Amino acid sequence: MRALALTGTRRYLLAMSVAKDLTELGKLIARQHGWPAAKAFKAYEMNDRDRAVLTTSAVDLLTIFLDVPAACAAMSAAFAVQLERVLRGPIQVVAGTLTVEGEAVFGDRSPRGGAASCSTEAYDCNGHVWVMVGPYVADISIFRIAYSPHGPPKLARHINLVFGPNQGLYVEHWRRTRRRGLGYEPHYVLSAAEVTALMGGAYQTIEAHRTSSAAA
């Protein structure tokens, strides 16, 4: 009975934590893009067509970013721009902390503004960056980072244990990410201008990397 009580308490605390994060993200979206955008974010429900569009778009983009080192901000920005063209759902690019089993692997849980945390030259952020389609996490970089020899060992072990190899895009309703041992804690929602700047810097870096690789 005690074990069941502890399990119930843990589930309650988990649900409360996720609800708090969703509420906070709604406020961050409203602050950056207005309350209509925040309401659309909360109301959205993903269907099979939208999920298929997400997968196809991710495959195309992962091919482009094949040889580029860790670039979660750039990949997420480019992914969001691509989705804007083919998906009618509410799309946001979010910066924050990524946790594995409650331990931060990217970010330090301290809120930072976009200009302070994201660099269009380095095309990455202090922390983690991902796309939200309504209340659904659409993380195009997490598997690429985990499979990389430069990724955090804790993240690599967790991803290989829970998901296995050869994964491309992680899509999950935010309420279910904690069940997978992952935590997405939002600190900042990027503006349209910041997303465009990051994407532009990303493609410049891709072209430079291709040129140097061809010359080598």
| Contact by Cβ (8 Å): 82, 95 | no
Residue 20 has pLDDT above 70, yes or no: no
Per-residue confidence band for 13, with pLDDT thresholds at 50, 70 and 90: very low
Positive or negative, the CA dihedral 143, 148, 154, 160 is positive
Structure tokens at 123: 């095309």
d(CA 144, CA 168): 7
SS3 154: helix
Looking at residue 122, what is its pLDDT?
Answer: 40
Provide the residue range defining the domain that includes 41: 2-215
Quick: pLDDT tens for 139-159: 999 999 999 888 899 999 999
Structure tokens at 137: 């996490």
Beta bridge partners of 189: 94
Residue 100 has pLDDT above 80, yes or no: yes
Phi, psi angle pair for 94, to nearest 5°: -120, 135
Nearest to 206 by CA among 70, 68, 59: 68
Quick: pLDDT tens for 170-215: 999 988 999 999 999 988 889 888 998 888 777 776 676 666 666 6
Give 70: exposed, middle or buried? Use CB within 10 Å, 0-12, 13-18, 19+: middle
| Contact by Cβ (8 Å): 95, 198 | no
Could you tell me where the DSSP H helices lie in the chain?
2-33, 35-43, 48-64, 72-86, 114-117, 142-147, 153-162, 174-177, 192-215
Nearest to 172 by CA among 18, 12, 16, 26: 18
Integer-rounded Cα Rg, in Å, for the chain is 17
d(CA 21, CA 175): 10
Domains: count for the chain: 1
